[in-house]
Amino acid sequence: MLCKACNYDPDELYTQVCTFIIKESWPSQNELSSNLKGRSGFKYRRWRDKFEKATRPAEEPAQGQRRVWFTRHYGARKRDFDYANLVGGGKPLIDTLVRCGYFVDDSPKLMIAYYKQEKSKTKEDYITVVIEEKNVILT
């Protein structure tokens, strides 16, 4: 049965492609500017470049729909972001994952993203990324 809030379907079959940790903090949407050329996109591009340095290319490039589970782990003296700032702050990382081949595109038909956040047990900032691919049933 499909979740009315997030469209998650527990009956769909997915296979885990990879799990990795990025040792960077997760920006709030408030920290980003825009993805435009010139000065207005500087903060966005700086974050995207940080994520690209911390991410290697996909061993199994995406062919179809995948879903991703992002977990923002935040360290000492930090707190939860409101949900809109959490999701908006993930755009540079999503663009990095598309560039690295983990997703064909970030359109809703090809990428389904879920976000959560929790206090870090190590008191360090980092991001956990779990990517799954939709199983295609051949008849």
- What string of pLDDT tens digits covers the 139 residues of the chain? 778 777 777 778 888 889 999 999 999 988 886 565 566 678 888 899 999 999 999 888 898 899 999 999 999 899 999 999 999 999 999 999 999 999 999 999 999 999 999 999 999 999 999 999 987 655 5
The pLDDT value given to residue 116: 97
CA gap 130, 30 in Å, rounded: 25
- Given a contact cutoff of 8 angstroms between Cβ atoms, the answer to whether 71 and 118 are in contact is yes
Q: What is the DSSP string of the chain?
A: ---TTT---TTS-EEEEEEEEE-SPPPPGGG---S-SSGGGHHHHHHHHHHHHH-PPPSS---S-EEEEEEEEE-TT--PPPHHHHHHHTHHHHHHHHHTTS-S-SSTTTEEEEEEEEE-TTSS-EEEEEEEEEPPPP-
Residue in this structure with the two tokens 């782990």, named with its chain if needed = 73
The pLDDT value given to residue 39: 65
- Given a contact cutoff of 8 angstroms between Cβ atoms, the answer to whether 105 and 49 are in contact is no
The pLDDT value given to residue 36: 55
The pLDDT value given to residue 2: 74
The pLDDT value given to residue 115: 97
* Domains in the chain: ranges and CATH: 14-134 (3.30.1330.70)
The pLDDT value given to residue 119: 97
CA gap 68, 55 in Å, rounded: 15
The pLDDT value given to residue 33: 63
Query: Angle at which helices 42-54 and 91-99 pack, to 10 degrees?
Result: 50
